[in-house]
Amino acid sequence: MKIVVVASFVGFSLGLNSPVFAQAPTPTVVDSPTVKVLTGLLAPQFQEEMNFITQALGVTCATCHARGNFASDEKPEKLTARRMLEMTKAIYTQNFPEHKPKPGESVLGRVTCYTCHQGERTPKLPPG
């Protein structure tokens, strides 16, 4: 089961070429003390999740990350984003237990950052 997932992501990762995640030739699992929610992901898969987050909020990597140090938790936006990751993961595990993300789809599943944010840093809030 695990091997199938890994193989499909290796295939999917072909063509991606970011200096941040560049690793050769076999992608390794992103393992860091400041990766607390998106654990157990291969580097290309982790990169995709960061791309999804960035697009969903209409921001850049630097909105959440301190310059030159992705592992740093010094920016409050990153801490908020981690809370949001925890919330989104909880929505998924509690409400969509049957769903299995396909290759290329966010590991967050059916409800993602985009569901609420729709490309905006602050989602539309209820009137009043």
Q: Which residue stretch of 3-11, 52-60, 94-102 sits at the interface with ligand HEC (rule: CB under 6 A)?
A: 52-60
83 CB-near residues (< 8 Å, 6+ apart): none
Residue 51: CB atoms within 10 Å: 14
CB 63, min distance to ligand HEC, A: 5
84 touches ligand HEC (CB under 6 A): yes
Q: How far is the CB of 95 from ligand HEC (least distance, A)?
A: 12
Is residue 54 within the footprint of ligand HEC (CB under 6 A)? yes
Q: Which of 115, 118, 119, 120 binds ligand HEC (CB under 6 A)?
A: 115
What distance in Å separates the CA atoms of residue 31 and residue 97, rounded to the nearest whole number?
25
Q: How many CB atoms lie within 10 A of CB 119?
A: 12
12 or 70, CB closer to ligand HEC?
70
- Of positions 32, 93, 95, 118, contacts ligand HEC by CB under 6 A: 32
Q: What are phi and psi of 20, to 5 degrees?
A: -65, -40
